Structure 1
Amino acid sequence: MKTYLILIFSTLLLYSCNQEIKKTENFSPLIDYQYLIKTNNDFKLPTETYKIRYKSNGLEITGFLTIPKDLQKYPTIIYNRGGNRDFGTFTTKSLIYQQYLSSNGFIVLSSQLRGNMHSEGKDEFGGKDLNDILKLIEINKSLKYSNQNIGVFGISRGGLNAYQISRLTDEIKAIAVVGAPTDLRLDFDTRPEMYEKVLKELIGDTINFKKEYDYRSPIKWVNEINEPTLILHGSDDWKVKPINAELMIKEMKRLNKEFDFQIVENGDHGLNTHRNIRNKKVINWFRKYLK
């Protein structure tokens, strides 16, 4: 019965996420196929969203490409998803947010990453799945509508991945993170289930796989983050405690990094309680550095 319910939920989620309405010519030779999709966009934003499939390490990965309809040259935001496995994959609401970002003068590329109902492979929570994000940078190079200035944005796990991408490539201009963990071990006391049910299963235990946790803990390698960085966090975030951001802010100040920050009073995880602050800060940050 449980398996049956999961299958029903998965089918409904896939349907609610988007409806493919027209197969189109691929914008990049690195895209295997591309479909214009319909979302529940009540705001009539001047953008178009395409569902794409591309290969990463030989795996078929699903992603999305959103562009302003006027098809001028624009900078690109790579938007990293949060969650893990099936939880946190992009839905209609997520795509509308990507359309909102795009309507402010950006191309938006995103990936469901590997290891869920949409893509092949295994989720490693910031391991080889980072290659699925790096591949979007390669795809962007062949987009004729891109001015080749790239920023990376992420909320929660997506913010962690943004830090990691900063460390792995010099081909991005800026990053912005919201509610991002900076050491996965900081939240074990308040969210033991996150360790037992997610991190332990995807990464391993902290004793035998200490190096893997360090690899996923930006506070350990702040000196390797060289792009201008925007750090936003809610003071009431119980999923990723504010200490994650506070330690990163302290270390970035010590290293004289180029960054800005705000701990938003009464803000929740992802700052959904303060969307206007979050959105204004993120958009202005990328407008400043992706000219």
Structure 2
Amino acid sequence: MKLITTLLLMLCALLPSIALSEELNPFSSKELQIVDKSIPFNSYNEWFNYAKENTRNVAQLDRWQKSVNPSAFERLISTTEAYWIAYQSDGLNISGVMAYPKNYQGEKLPVVIYNRGGNHKHNVSRTQLLNLIMPLAEKGYLVIASNYRGAKFSEGKDEYGGKDVNDVLRLIEVAKTLPGADTSRVAMIGFSRGGMMTWQALRREQDSINTAIIVAGVTDQSSELLRRPEMLKLFQELVPMFDANRDAEVRARSAIHWLDELNTQVPLLLIHGDSDVRVDVSNST
């Protein structure tokens, strides 16, 4: 995890820095509403007690303890701000999260769009926020993430790389309305399913994304369906008219078929472990 975070910070650091003073609320607008603090705990012990009272079993609490480093938590809540957000995409209310440095001095911040993994009702979790998003914000970035349509607090239906990609691209336009965001400097990061979303965003938006990082993303859905046939049920459930348009829908979600359509001037970093049991490393080689 430390290696991934370090690499993300290194690539994002390639973006140049420019300062510009703003007097207005820098990270909200009519297009993006701040809903509430995403980590409303003032100490590790307070969060631990909350987790202990609200987890279903000992194994779940053990996973939480392994994913939350006490010293990192104490540092990050003192150096960053993180909020649940809401915005509109295709007329739907979409939920998400945003983080930025607490010592913000009025300069425009480069933007990182974080694309989560998972499907259905998944959201960006608090532990993802702590381990992957807040460390970037601490280094001076405005990080925005969508939960996509169909998630627990979003309207609409998850299409697993269909119209939900609009929810990712919409964040670029929303960021342009934020006084504290420098949208001439935009990076995109995607994990697993979020890697697929990032590939599609790069295909559709050739000019606004300056650099991208894809961690364990799928590039060849056909191979993955052969390797994990249980994924067919997911496609049939989430992808509209999948059985009637199987080949076209699989290709649309497989960057291996349209790599030549991407902007070759956009730096791209692929990260993938060779022991990944969910997404085979061949998707990144």
Task: State the TM bucket, normalised to the shorter chain.
Answer: 0.7 to 0.9
Specify every segment of 5 or more residues in structure 2 that has no aligned partner in the other structure, as ranges. 1-24, 41-46, 48-71
Q: 158, 166, 169: which one pairs with 2:202?
A: 166
Instruction: Return the alpha-carbon distance in structure 2 between the equivalents of residues 98 and 127 of structure 1.
Output: 25
Q: State yes or no: 1:155 paired with 2:188.
A: no
Aligned residues: 221
Q: 68, 71, 96: which one pairs with 1:63?
A: 96
Structure 2 counterpart SS, 1:167: helix
Query: How far 1:26 sits from its partner (Å)?
Result: 6.6
Q: 218, 222, 226: which one pairs with 2:255?
A: 218
Matches within 5 A, 1:120-269: 120-148=155-183, 149-169=185-205, 170-196=207-233, 198-203=234-239, 205=242, 208-226=245-263, 227-246=266-285
Q: TM-score, normalised by structure 1?
A: 0.71
Q: Deviations over 1:263-288 (max 9, x none)?
A: xxxxxxxxxxxxxxxxxxxxxxxxxx
8 Å contact 2:26–2:179 — kept in the other structure? Answer: no
Letter in 1 for 2:115: N
Letter in 2 for 1:110: A
Q: TM-score, normalised by structure 2?
A: 0.73
Specify which structure has the higher proportion of strand.
1
Letter in 1 for 2:93: E
With CA pairs under 8 Å and 6+ residues apart, which has the higher RCO, 1 or 2? 2
Q: Deviations over 1:35-89 (max 9, x none)?
A: 33335572322110111111111111101111111223221110001111124x2
Query: How far 1:99 sits from its partner (Å)?
Result: 0.7
Specify every segment of 5 or more residues in structure 1 that has no aligned partner in the other structure, as ranges. 1-23, 247-291
8 Å contact 1:25–1:34 — kept in the other structure? Answer: no
8 Å contact 2:108–2:179 — kept in the other structure? Answer: yes
Instruction: Return the alpha-carbon distance in structure 2 between the equivalents of residues 73 and 32 of structure 1.
Output: 19
Q: Deviations over 1:116-158 (max 9, x none)?
A: 2211101001110011111110111122222221011011010
Query: How far 1:207 sits from its partner (Å)?
Result: 6.4
8 Å contact 2:80–2:101 — kept in the other structure? Answer: yes
8 Å contact 2:119–2:158 — kept in the other structure? Answer: yes
Query: How far 1:32 sits from its partner (Å)?
Result: 4.0
Counting aligned pairs with the same residue, the percent is: 37
Taking a change above 3 Å as real, the CA distance of residues 212 and 47 of structure 1, as seen in their structure-2 partners, is same
Which residue does the alignment assign to 2:145? 110
